Each structure stands twice: as C-alpha cells, then as structure tokens.
Amino acid sequence: MATHVVNEARRCLHCKNPQCRKGCPIGTPIPDMIELFRTGHKREAGEMLFANNPLSVFCSLVCNHENQCEGHCVLGRKGAPVQISSIENYISDAYLDNPDFQRAPRLGQRVAIIGSGPAGLTIAVVLAQKGYDITIFESKFKIGGVLRYGIPDFRLPKTIIDRYKKQLLKLGIKIRPNAAIGLALTVDDLQRDGYEAIFIGTGVWKANKLNVKGESLGHVHYAIDYLVDPDVYILGETLVVIGAGNSAMDVARTALRKGVRHVYIFCREPKAAASQRELDYAIADGVEMIYGAETVEIVDEGVIYKQHRYDEEGNITETSEPKLFKTDNVIIAISQGAQSRIVNTTHGLHMNERGLLATDEHGRTTRDGIFAAGDVSLGAKTVVEAAHSAKIVAAEMDKYLTERRESRAGAGE
C-alpha cells in the first residue's frame, strides 16, 4: 500500500491551476497535501487535511472521486488520473490516531448538536476547537449517523468511526447516546438548560415511498432501514432492489454478502444514477441490472413491471405490457426525506415545501439560536457536501455566539 501511494504521489504534475482542487466540493488543498507527503511531511499533510475537512478520513473512502478530485485530474484526459483518494486515505488514516487538535480556552458557552452524522460531527469538531462546550445528542446507541448506519462496512469500516469518537472525547465533547430530541427531551429543554446555540443535523431517515399497490406487503422493505442492520432481515435466495442510486448498490452488494444468491436492480431509466465506480463494483459482485424497468405493482410472487425501451436521446420508444418478475423479497431504494419529530415538538421551527428543515443560506432556521445543515436541510447529499455546508454553518454559529458573548460583556454581566 505504501509503495503504491508513494508512486501515485510522484505522478502528480503540481499544476499551477489545479483542477483537482476545483473538483473537490470542500476545496481540499490536494497539490499541497501531495507535496508535503512526497517530501516526508506526512504529519503536516494530515494536519492540513483535517483543518480543511474534519471528515477527511471518511471522505477519502466514500467520496465520488471519479466525478470530483480524480475526475478533474488532467492526467485523466489521456490516461489514468492520480489516485488522490488513496493518498488522502493513507495520510488521514495515519493522522487520526494521534491528531493535533488544538482547543482554545473555554468560552463558557454551551452548544447542543442534535445528530452525529457527517454534518453534526463537523460542527462539533470545529466549535469544540474554538472553545465551546459541546454536547452531542444521538438518537441511536452509537455515533456516526449515515456513516455507521447507511454505508456498508466493506466501504467504510466502522472501526474508523470508533477511533474518531476517541478524538471527540479528547476534545472535551460530551456524547449522549439513545437521546432522541423530541421525545423525553425537547429543544425547549435544551434552551432552558443553557444551550445558547443548537445545531440540528438529524439527516434523512424517512424512506420515500414508491406509491404502488403492494408496498405494505411483508416481503417489502426500505433501503434506509435495511442498511441500519441487515442481519435482522431474512431475504431468501432472490431479491429485487428498486432504484439505482448508490444506496441501491450498497443494498445489493450487502445482500449478496449476507447470503442472497441472486440480486436484481430495477432501474427505470436507461442509465443508473449511481457513480460508475459503485455500479462497476456491484456488477463485479454479481448484481444484475435491469434497465427500463418501471414497477407497477408488488404482489406476493414478486414485482409486476413494464419494460421501457429508449432511443439514444433517452426518450421512451417502446413499452411492454405489465409482466411478473418472481422474487422472494423486494427492497425499495428511491432516496429518503427528513423526519418531522423535532419540528412537531418545537414552536417556531418550520419545514419547507420539500419537507426539509427550512433554513437561510447560512443555516439559520426559523427560530433564533437554532441552526441546521447537511441532509436535513439540503436533502440527501454526499458526505463531503454535508461537511462543506456544516463548515459554513459553524462559522455562522460562532458569529452568533460571539455576538451574544460580547453583548453580555457590554451589559456588564
């Protein structure tokens, strides 16, 4: 691995106008990272990576690199791009066990983080380093959100999240597991107890329905639920996954690893929405793609569907009569939306027309002192997009808290 990474680093052209950095949603200083690593300054490279992106170690594994950093590498125009993801992972994984996270003197202001997914973790690390007292409220028994419960272990080993948690604790961050805000505790309780700013990063855990007859039958499940704990599902020998995004690929590949012999993905369009890399891995694992398959109804015996044919422009040219595709189980993987538990228990907090938490461009919600970022306000996005939006919101929260602190000081409190 080390030899491979070193060789990849040597391939970098150190472009004066690095397109790889432009392709990264969070602006990772890729040429600087590679140069530090190449000249024997691996630790400094790790420090730089985490300063720019607190989730660097995760993004190096799960980002859509082919469309982002690596997809913009000039070497990829006529050959293979530099494997930036491998270099970043080698550096950030080594740095994770002994980072140099500097914490500023305590400011005496409490901040609540609701949800420990990508956005919540980013906010927690950024604000803890600035000296705020951070408490993470996680509804499940372990932190990580979609990192732990939505991405299979073969793509993101959960041991990395456990290692990350140790660094959170070293930063003085408190973690309350099994603490779902909107049940025993509410946002009003948090504000009563002195949390001056509250961040909501609860993600999107409500499965979107297919809205076809048969969706409530006993052999039909949702991807977002299946990926939380695949071991509790008995899927038989044949499975149909409806939907063709990255989550559908994760479900299909996981099911094969759990003993399902034949997995089919129904993709209504002529091309899958998943990244090419995830699609290639799924096919290599043995997943069979059925393009142009529109589900009409789900019955006990399987899925009734219509087969569409498309021309080169993507227009439907022919549609078959409905026919039955026999299968033991069906998993629906057509994205998901935000739950409304916190909104329903918090006066003055609103959702937008898309069913997401309403915020302005800085992450401020419709109630003072409450902020949001990531999937709960943007819809289902990537890990790096959640981290990017969370960095913007962290700066706004710092500004808000600083103004409150200065206001009290001016009033002589």
Quote the tokens at residue 304. Answer: 């009734």
Could you tell me the pLDDT band of residue 238, with boundaries at 50, 70 and 90? very high
Angle, CA of 278, 284 and 287, to the nearest 5°: 80
Architecture of domain 207-335: 3-Layer(bba) Sandwich (3.50)
Q: Which CATH class is domain 110-205+338-410?
A: alpha beta
Distances (CA, A) of 320 to 61, 260, 292, 388: 41, 28, 10, 44
Quote the tokens at residue 296. Answer: 């009409």
* Dihedral over Cα of 122, 125, 130, 133: its sign: positive
From CA 136, how far away is CA 114, in angstroms rounded? 6
Q: Is 241 exposed, middle or buried (0-12, 13-18, 19+ CB in 10 A)?
A: buried
* Dihedral over Cα of 110, 116, 121, 125: its sign: positive
pLDDT at 412 over 70: no
Architecture of domain 2-96: Orthogonal Bundle (1.10)
Helix, strand, coil fractions of the chain, as percent rounded to 5 = 40, 20, 40
Q: What residue spans define the domains of the chain?
A: 2-96, 110-205+338-410, 207-335
pLDDT at 190 over 80: yes
Mean pLDDT along residues 280-300 = 97
DSSP 368-401: TTEEE-THHHH-S--HHHHHHHHHHHHHHHHHHH
DSSP 235: -
pLDDT at 2 over 80: no
Q: pLDDT tens across 305-317, in order? A: 999 999 988 899 9
Mean pLDDT along residues 347-352 = 82
Q: Specify the pTM.
A: 0.91
Q: By the 8 A CB rule, do 162 and 57 touch?
A: no
From CA 412, how far away is CA 407, in angstroms rounded? 9
By C-alpha distance, which of 59, 92, 85 is closest to 167?
92
**Fold match, 110-205+338-410 / 207-335:** yes
Q: By the 8 A CB rule, do 195 and 110 touch?
A: yes
Write down the pLDDT at residue 159. Answer: 97
Task: Return the half-sphere exposure (C-beta side, CA atoms, 13 A cut-off) of residue 304.
Answer: 11
Q: pLDDT tens across 89-132, in order? A: 999 999 999 888 889 999 999 999 999 999 999 999 999 999 99
